[in-house]
Chains A and B, each alone.
Chain A
Amino acid sequence: MAEVTGTTWTVYDANVMTQADIYGRVLCELGKKDPRIVALTADMAHSTKIGVFGEAFPERFINVGIAEQNAFGIAAGLAKAGMVPFVSTMSVFASMRALEQVRTDICYQNLGVKIIATHGGISFGQAGTTHHCTEDLAIMRALANMTVIVPADGFETANAVRASLGVPGPVYIRLGRGFEPLHYASEDYDFQIGKAVQIADGSDVTVICCGVAVYHAAEAARILKERNGISVRVLNLHTIKPIDEAAIMAAVTDTRRILTVEEHNVLGGLGTAVADVIAQSGKGCVFAKTGLPDCYSEVGYPEDLYSHYGIDTDGIAERVLALLGKEYEADEDWEDEV
């Protein structure tokens, strides 16, 4: 693996490093500058790569063993004492095993604890459903004070981890297991928490997505344009909360067809958050959600699972075509309204 010391990542580095690898390195870089940063894990130092920070700053690293509730409780206490804790474990444990500590100790007290949750969604597919996490976005967005981010790839992970330091309250960043394809070519693009990134413009339909779906949506948009002459807008909605209402409503106004894609139950996550915005606007559009159809996930390699649930390039392209076949209710006054 190439040694990465600075803030610039080459495509080579990012291709051979997982999101978590990059997270570990970025955290080290931040830890050098900011002595308030402390890292915690629950026997996941290696799996989540937070151990990279532990090797660099052993005096600011706490492994609590397999005891997630305690990890988040201690993090709350550290934040109360003036530190900036980063806590890493698998997303299924961060969002469910330790949920009450995250809610009551961290969010209720509005503490600046940064939760970097790995193995999100079905990214650890072969591990089985106990180690999948297709509920965390729904859970985390229901917690007042929480910021919820799902980076598209390793570069966006680096941006999100850096940006999280600027948020005074709690932040939940959901990563995959690694080995996800890269969408970005570098960290150098306009990443702001709460601002969707438009990665392809289009006028026929908009795909709103996060995480690994961003790469696949961008591919699908390219293929649909080349093969079918369809103009697909793609929004990388990396921040689920606070949500970028302006970008969503611009997409509704401009394309009137919206497909959401997420590695999550279709209930409560990105798709639901987008639907909330649209419903409250009073505007109508054709709308569909792609993700896990309110079921527990199958076992398998992630690529097979993404294909099964329509979160890959072919699946997204199919669903876009289906969406184009649907009509929204005719509304002759639409132009006046917008």
Chain B
Amino acid sequence: MPLSPDEIRALQAKARELRCLMIDVTVWAGGAHIGGSLSAADLLTALYYKYLRIRPEESDWPDRDRFVLSKGHGGVGLASVLADRGYFPKELLREFNHFKSPFGMHLDGAKVPGVDASTGSLGHGLSMAVGMALGARFQGKGWLTYCLLGDGECNEGSVWEAAMAAHHHKVDNLITIVDRNGFMIDGPTEDVMGLEPFADKWRAFGWGVREIDGHDYAQIGEAIEAAQQAKGAPLVIIAHTVKGKGVDFMENAVQWHYGSVDSDMAARAKASIAGGA
């Protein structure tokens, strides 16, 4: 069922709140992968506030949907969402990156409730997500596995090993989303190592493809609902996003792949987020 205008407005408001929290955590952490967290913020909001079947109070509920953040450097974004969703107190995020904190840039599933896979090394998440989805199939379980990939990450050959296997083994209880923000650390993806024709690559591997605006909730909702219904073959949602989305001085600026934010900058960032749609 498509998202209603009220649902969309509520999700947009939540995403503004979460983007502000991500800015705060970036200040507390002394630096974070803020650009790619902001680009994924609307995708994470749609998943965690609408689509994932989860119980934050029972983070290891066996029948929960699984979420694998294959672009593990988006940890500051995911941790903010998990805290807001009630997996742990937001106050804990003040220790982000500090000595013996449960939170490092790349989240450890053994230390952070709600993290279904410890990720950080790129190109690992899709294989693990395929394994989880097969595990659900073997046990006759109805829960779904969601996997969020970065676009630069798709340079890794292991992503395509997993893509080949997901098609061959007809893994259709897996929902894969690529945060196609167009940047990696060294620059635009098409300058560093071109991915285009990106959708055709997935199609050639036997996947269904939906290309959407990753900041448009109506499109995000429609694509996720289509992927939930996929039968016989996996489906990837290529979500075209803006790196640094919501903060005017971070948008499409490669230096904000990873950056530090002081309190003045944070205030400007939050003003920009509040002024956005």
Asked if A pairs with B, the answer is yes
Residues of A in contact with B (beta carbons under 8 Å apart): 38, 59-60, 62, 64-65, 67, 69-70, 72-83, 85, 100-101, 104-105, 108-110
Residues of B in contact with A (beta carbons under 8 Å apart): 62, 66, 68, 109-110, 116-118, 120-121, 123-124, 126-136, 138-139, 145, 157-158, 161-162, 164-165, 168-169
Contacts A67-B164, A69-B158, A74-B165: A82 and B135 contacting too (C-beta < 8 A)? yes
- Contact A74 B110, beta carbon cutoff 8 Å: no
6 A-B pairs closest in CB distance: A77-B131, A73-B127, A81-B135, A70-B161, A74-B131, A67-B161
- Contact B135 A76, beta carbon cutoff 8 Å: no
Residues in A with CB closer than 8 Å to B118 are 104, 108-109
- Contact B158 A62, beta carbon cutoff 8 Å: no
- Contact B62 A73, beta carbon cutoff 8 Å: no
Residues in A with CB closer than 8 Å to B168 are 65
- Contact A77 B130, beta carbon cutoff 8 Å: yes
- Contact B165 A78, beta carbon cutoff 8 Å: no
CB closest chain-B residue, reference A110: B110
Residues in B with CB closer than 8 Å to A104 are 118, 120-121, 124
Residues in A with CB closer than 8 Å to B132 are 77-78, 80-81
Closest CB in chain A relative to B171 CB, distance in Å? 10
CA distance A65 to B160 in the complex (A): 12
Closest CB in chain A relative to B235 CB, distance in Å? 18
CA distance A69 to B157 in the complex (A): 9
Residues in B with CB closer than 8 Å to A82 are 62, 135, 139
Q: How many A-B residue pairs have CB under 8 A?
A: 109
- Contact A77 B138, beta carbon cutoff 8 Å: no
- Contact A80 B116, beta carbon cutoff 8 Å: yes
- Contact B109 A77, beta carbon cutoff 8 Å: no
Closest CB in chain A relative to B210 CB, distance in Å? 23
CA distance A76 to B116 in the complex (A): 11
Residues in A with CB closer than 8 Å to B157 are 69
Closest CB in chain A relative to B110 CB, distance in Å? 7
Closest CB in chain B relative to A77 CB, distance in Å? 2
CA distance A178 to B113 in the complex (A): 45
Contacts A70-B162, A77-B132: A83 and B121 contacting too (C-beta < 8 A)? no
- Contact B165 A77, beta carbon cutoff 8 Å: no
Residues in B with CB closer than 8 Å to A100 are 121, 124
- Contact B121 A80, beta carbon cutoff 8 Å: no
Which of B133, B139, B165 is close to A67, meaning CB atoms less than 8 Å apart? B165
CA distance A38 to B162 in the complex (A): 18
Residues in A with CB closer than 8 Å to B124 are 73, 100-101, 104-105
CB-defined A-B contacts under 8 Å, sample of 14:
A38-B135, A38-B138, A62-B169, A65-B164, A73-B127, A75-B131, A77-B117, A77-B145, A80-B128, A81-B138, A81-B139, A85-B131, A100-B121, A109-B109
Residues in A with CB closer than 8 Å to B130 are 70, 73-74, 77
- Contact B135 A69, beta carbon cutoff 8 Å: no
CA distance A170 to B145 in the complex (A): 23
Q: Which of B128, B129, B130, B162 has the most CB of A within 10 A?
A: B128
CA distance A80 to B145 in the complex (A): 12
CA distance A228 to B200 in the complex (A): 74
- Contact B139 A70, beta carbon cutoff 8 Å: no
Residues in B with CB closer than 8 Å to A105 are 117, 124, 127-128
Contacts A75-B131, A109-B109: A81 and B117 contacting too (C-beta < 8 A)? no
CA distance A327 to B136 in the complex (A): 62
- Contact B127 A78, beta carbon cutoff 8 Å: no
- Contact A77 B164, beta carbon cutoff 8 Å: no
- Contact A60 B138, beta carbon cutoff 8 Å: yes
Contacts A73-B124, A101-B124, A110-B110: A78 and B131 contacting too (C-beta < 8 A)? yes
- Contact A81 B164, beta carbon cutoff 8 Å: no
CA distance A211 to B68 in the complex (A): 39
